[in-house]
Structure 1
Amino acid sequence: MSTGTTQRVCFQLQVDPARLDEYRDRHAAVWPDMLRAIEASGRRNYSLFLREDGLLIGYYEVDDDDDAQAALANDPRTARWEAEMAEFFVTLDGPRPDQGAPRIPEVFHLEDQLAALDPDAASATTRTESSES
């Protein structure tokens, strides 16, 4: 549903409910090298959301997700991080959690719909939000 070159990616994983506190602690202090690897892959605006039952929702934006996936798959920092994180997940359907995570299709994006109505409306909304910050 994305327009332009930015892809918005949302995915779902299941964290073992018995390990939520440890998972939160690990993500409160992600290794600096891992943060740099994610950034170098082209992912940005990356967030994780975790419910008390272990449902984890991730979201990020990227220009080319295939390129980002390949960059991370070939990065030894990512391999070390993913190996340590794998034990937190209840089920995995791939060699790494980010590869096996089911994607959640986007069904609505405000800016896309505003732009379809009036290209100036979306930019006006962005300007208004920026000035209110």
Structure 2
Amino acid sequence: MQRMGWVIGIDPQHIAEYMRLHAAVWPAVLQRIHQSQMRNYSTFLREPENLLFGYWEYHGQNFDADMAAIAADPQTQRWWSLCGPCQRPLESRSPGEHWAAMKSIFHTD
């Protein structure tokens, strides 16, 4: 299992919409996440900086293939078309990233 953290900005005018969407994530999107070996998926909001922090535990063997399966899913693409305009990718993100990956530096059970 691999713990993963990601960060992205959010447009302050879209925070309420983003929270509304995530109060009732579509079952097909949740199923695709589960099929791609992601568990314990959580998203946090930090205001007034307007940052979203995403955390999950990846239990698969091929992260790139599992993420490609998510990206190819029509329901997930539709979901992203609603959520994406709310987000503000960080300028410091790596090429090809939408959410910026974070380095894990500490964990305790």
Fold similarity call, TM over 0.5: yes
1:60 and 1:67 mapped to 2: Cα distance?
Answer: 17
1:21 maps to: 16
2:65 and 2:4 mapped to 1: Cα distance?
Answer: 13
1:36 counterpart = 2:31 = yes
Q: Give the RMSD, CA atoms, in angstroms.
A: 1.7
Shift of 1:51: 1.5
1:105 maps to: 103
* CA offset digits 1:22-75 (Å, max 9, x no partner): 111110011111111111111110000011232000000112322321210121
Q: How many residue pairs align between the two structures?
A: 101
Letter in 2 for 1:56: L
1:63 maps to: 59
Shift of 1:92: 6.7
1:41 and 1:49 mapped to 2: Cα distance?
Answer: 21
2:47 maps to: 52
* CA offset digits 1:70-112 (Å, max 9, x no partner): 210121111111111111012378xxxxx4211110011225x
The percentage of counterpart residues that share the same residue type is 40
1:76 maps to: 74
Letter in 1 for 2:39: R
Would the aligned equivalents of 2:90 and 2:100 in 1 still touch at CA under 8 Å? no
Q: Which structure's residues are more often helix, by fraction? A: 1
Structure 1 gaps of 5+ residues are 1-5, 94-98, 112-133
Query: Which is bigger in relative contact order (C-alpha 8 A, separation at least 6)?
Result: 2
Would the aligned equivalents of 1:62 and 1:68 in 2 still touch at CA under 8 Å? no
TM-score of the two chains, using structure 1 as the length reference: 0.69
Would the aligned equivalents of 1:9 and 1:59 in 2 still touch at CA under 8 Å? yes
